[in-house]
Amino acid sequence: MSRVCQISGKKANNGYSVSHSHVKTKKKQNINLQRKKIWSRAKGCWIRKKISTKAIKSFYKVDL
Q: What is the pLDDT of residues 8-18, one digit of tens each?
A: 999 999 999 99
pLDDT digits (tens, 9 = 90+) for 39-52: 888 999 999 999 99
C-beta separation of 34 from 15 below 8 A = no
pTM of the model: 0.72
Alpha carbons 2 and 10: distance in angstroms, whole number: 11
The domains of the chain, with CATH numbers, are 13-63 (2.30.170.40)
Sign of CA dihedral 64, 33, 49, 11: positive
